[in-house]
Structure 1
Amino acid sequence: MRAALLQIAVRPDETVTARRTRAAALVREQHAADLVILPELWTVGAFSFDAFHDHAEPLDGPTAHAMSRAAASARVWLHAGSIIERGPDGTLYNTSLVFAPDGAPQRRYRKIHRFGFDRGEAALLARGEETVTVALGDGGPTAGLATCYDLRFPEQFRALVDAGAEMFLVPAGWPAARRAHWSLLARARAVESQAYVLACGTAGTHAGVEQAGHSVVVDPWGEVVAEAGSGEETLVVDLDPALVTRTRADFPTLRDRVLGVPAPR
């Protein structure tokens, strides 16, 4: 399986419409890939809180339409990063969208862990309620969906493993100030779950917050397969989904999990 992570910048001098057009063109160029991933909130910027309301859109809005057409043009599975979704009742969510190679929408995931400690995203957006997986084609690997800050919460990834996940797709708008955590947590989630982690971040700045970039692909042993730099970049990597099965058979730590460990007295 060939995956392409599109580490794009959210440029302050670029309109949302222009960036949407540019991202769609980048997706269409990835016709040699099987899977393409975009970052979190690349339409507006993960820290551009003042723009969230004005640029919120429904699940069938302009970003979904553009990404559906791009996926169909390239014939790829597309994780289109996330958008600010305006739900039917007006509630806002940080929502990821996944499209099949024919352009059909397959899954949507509303981010469960919102960053901000009662400010920013945590104050403006509602929390998602469900973990989500998607099978990438007949006989293809099962991917678990998570977004940015979710990476700090291993319980979510354990739930995804229990639901059959063999890889995790993690779009992000991770700040440069905590880039060391980004790399460490991506490797930790891979090792403890014996799964691939494909973590796609943004370049540039969001509302003055410098982004970490350094999109990364980690294999089930925790080895970094490929890593981007800090600027705009397309990271292309070939994966072996069977490595997950072999790793879990050769070193069966998941079998030894003890659930329901009693609390200390």
Structure 2
Amino acid sequence: MKVLLTRPLGRNQAMEEQLSRRDVAYLVTPLLAIIDTNESITNAVLDQTDNLLFISTNAVDFAAKKLHNNFPSYCRYFAVGQATADSLAQYNIHAVSSPEDSQDSEGLLSLPQLQHVEKQSFIIVRGLGGRETLAEQLQLRGANVSYWQVYQRALPKLDGKEITQHWKSFGIDTIVITSGETLSNLIELVPKELFAWLRACHIIVPSNRVELQAKAMGLSHITNANGANTQAILTSLAL
């Protein structure tokens, strides 16, 4: 097994360390660039918020920078996925996270704590754009929802044919994907004449939604890790 790690720059160290310990060969090619936005938030807005809901580890880290690590202590915290909850824990914040078998928005929405939210206020902390499922469902349940978009995503500048040939020559047969955007960027990069190679690769995805997305894009050798954290990925790799 030779593994391709695709998280944004600076996000692959934990997996690199674990793969090295197990003598598993790997390459790192970030398929998503994460950059700051100019969107800030006032203390007055935070003071009126009952719940902060974080979509990703990037949402946590960029919010922390903007808040100078001073997270509000008087609201409830929710996290999409254990990896996001773990990131909040680094700032001494306990967040309720998605169930272990559904580490996505749908899993979070299934939590008992989010069934009766009439007149509660939520700020969803996320990247620019993205899915509207959480906001729509919470609003249907009577909540007041707004966004704080603290980062934006971009496709790194890569030569698709050149980088795919590099992966193929190295012998990559397993690709770790941790978001739908990363999967879309992978599909966009790989030229048609090399798509058969990609289809033969074992694709690790973090959720049911991304699994369905991968199947819709023509991939079939897929394992759903049910999470984007290191342990979930290692388990899906049988390591």
Task: Give the number of the structure whose alpha-carbon radius of gyration is greater.
Answer: 2
* TM-score with structure 2 setting the length: 0.34
* TM-score with structure 1 setting the length: 0.31
Which structure dedicates a bigger proportion of its chain to strand?
Answer: 1
Query: RCO higher in 1 or 2 (8 Å CA, sep ≥ 6)?
Result: 2
Which structure dedicates a bigger proportion of its chain to helix?
Answer: 2
